[in-house]
Structure 1
Amino acid sequence: MRWDGLMPLVDIEQMLNHLKKDMIVDHGKTRSLLNGPRGPLQEISNRMVTQRPKGFKDPNSFSMEVELCQAFSEMLRGNIEDIDAGDREDPQMCSDYVKDIYQYLRQLEVQQRVFPFYLDGTEINGRMRAILVDWLIQLHARFQLMQDTLYMCVAIIDRFLQAQPVSRKELQLVGVTAMLLAAKYEEIYPPSILDFVYMTDRAYTPTQIRATEQKILKELNFALGRPLPLHFLRRIAKVSDASAESYLLAKYLMELTLLDYNMVHYNPSEVAAAAICLSRKVFSEGQWAVKNKYSSSKFLRISTIPQLNSSSIKDFAAPLLGEARQLM
């Protein structure tokens, strides 16, 4: 096995050919046992000969393909390290179900996806959304809430706005209500509704927030458990054995995407994979409130590292910057 866990194509082809030859021999033996030796009269059959319909597939051939794929899969699995082996004694790690859990999350992120350019034709545009999200990031930091709460808040906003367009005056109301809902879902001790009223400088009443809360829950059919990029990042970081710096930089890059309207339609798993990939490239192994937040010692001042101004980052960004200038 190579260091990256992948087998050379030549080895794979040899394995497949070897397995196929063995299985063909086995099937040949089976047919000879079933048919047996034929006498002179047995060569004449009175069975009706029918023409096989177009697209007909020999059941024996199909069975052989299934067995071949299964044998090849088991052979590959035997050479892959089980990264969950050390978690067997920890019931909170769910090591027996972790693969099924992430398979379910991959299905769920598609079912609850956000569509690109969903704000087209409404009073709200991408910049208004970015201003709202930036304010919510500051609100999130003020209340010292969990990271999952912030991502869920933004996901609720996007999913609701694509289904139920609102006016400019209602945008902040939707944002603060989404934060309240996410806090109730994720936090042990969420802020009270009066705290959110105070943070909006009493622009909205508790009655308005409760009414908007009911409207959002009804529109989303109470399905708030959309997978978050953080869920996938934690798994990918474990699989790739990412360093603390690489993991924090990936979190910083992911949080920057919350502000970008052009990123809303990417699945959370794709955002997480791209963030950790870029982070590892930066280490060779945005502005706004997000940058200020990650410039503190609590986050190892990850947003101020010189690698973010390196030539590799500029090369990655060059095509996107060219497209942005054309749009302007």
Structure 2
Amino acid sequence: MNQQDQPAAVWPKRSPVPQVPQPEVSANVSMKEALCQVFSVALLAVEDIDEGDSDLPQLCSEYIKDIYGYLQRLETQQSVRPKYMNGYEINGRMRALLIDWLIQVHSRFQLLQETLYLTVAVLDRFLQVQTIGRKKLQLVGVTAMLLASKYEEMYSPEICDFVYITDNAFTKAHIREMEQLILQSLNFELGRPLPLHFLRRASKAGNTPTQEHYSTYNENHLKPIMEHIARNIVSVNEGRTKLQAVKNKYASSRLMRISLIPQLTSTFVNDMAAALLPEPKP
């Protein structure tokens, strides 16, 4: 997600489920044989990525396809409007600064990855339905992280920890009051599907046709998103932005220094980002 821009969470329409090619059936072939041919073609068309998981009950292989279908429907129901901050006192730049700081708080508290993703989801879903001034934006951010921690963590940081992390800019009473407002505004619905959920599924479906089948996205859907990600990578690597929390986080050995791999400075990434980057000044 581009931290400096407001999120465009209304994604492109998904591709229809790929059609299975129909075998030619002569007049001499029985209906039973024809059905066998159809099913054979279907089985060969797409790999069943859950086939080997039946002995791992935590992977829910019997229900996993229904689960992800539900998550996709829920994602649409709880979507965040693009450019929802238009006309607000706060703007995308302020949101970007807040999230950059929240990433540092998240690392300091050593919270789960799901907690950070849910924090951002709660933040955006709340801000698009409630008008908040800039003086309360940080309060919304820490309260969103408190709620996400309660939802995802086994041991959540306490309210006093968030008071401390804001240098006592807000009291425990302020955070409790904001917590109630956020929950009421979201109808207590915190179970939003996260990018991390879909990423894990997509990583399992590695090759191109299988990936398209299970994600329901094709290359035309992915390329614009990839260009925005490439632009962010180049902006960070070339020092075009001061928002460096993500790069610093993933530069640690604990996360395999993934933000420092040479592929992120490759010609491929730079070429992909070029269309969205401003021309260099002469």
State the TM bucket, normalised to the shorter chain.
0.7 to 0.9
- 1:308 maps to which residue? 264
Unaligned stretches of 5+ residues in structure 2? 1-18, 209-220, 231-235, 237-242
1:84 deviates by 1.5
Asked if 1:207 is matched to 2:173, the reply is yes
Structure with bigger helix share is 1
- 2:109 maps to which residue? 143
1:74 deviates by 3.3
1:72 deviates by 8.0
What's the CA shift string for 1:78-111, capped at 9, x where partnerless?
2133221221111111000000000111101000
Q: Distance in 1 between matches of 2:103 and 2:39?
A: 46
- 2:138 maps to which residue? 172
Q: Distance in 2 between matches of 1:235 and 1:186?
A: 19
Aligned counterparts, 1:253-292, within 5 A: 286=236, 288-292=244-248
Q: Distance in 2 between matches of 1:220 and 1:144?
A: 26
1:310 deviates by 1.0
Q: Distance in 2 between matches of 1:126 and 1:320?
A: 17
User: Helix, strand or coil for the counterpart of 2:128?
Assistant: helix
Which of 26, 40, 56 is the equivalent residue of 1:90? Answer: 56
- 2:71 maps to which residue? 105
Q: Distance in 2 between matches of 1:312 and 1:228?
A: 28
Greater C-alpha Rg: 1
Q: Distance in 2 between matches of 1:71 and 1:320?
A: 50
Q: Which runs of 4+ in 1 moved over 6 A?
A: 23-26, 70-73
1:75 deviates by 3.8
1:77 deviates by 3.0
Normalization by structure 2: what TM-score? 0.75
Which of 251, 272, 276 is the equivalent residue of 1:295? Answer: 251
Aligned counterparts, 1:106-121, within 5 A: 106-121=72-87
- 2:43 maps to which residue? 78
Give the structure, 1 or 2, with the largest relative contact order (CA under 8 Å, sep 6 or more).
Answer: 2
State the percentage of identical aligned residues: 55
Normalization by structure 1: what TM-score? 0.65
Question: How many pairs align?
Answer: 233
Q: Distance in 2 between matches of 1:182 and 1:189?
A: 12
Structure 1 vs Structure 2 CA RMSD: 3.0
1:24 deviates by 12
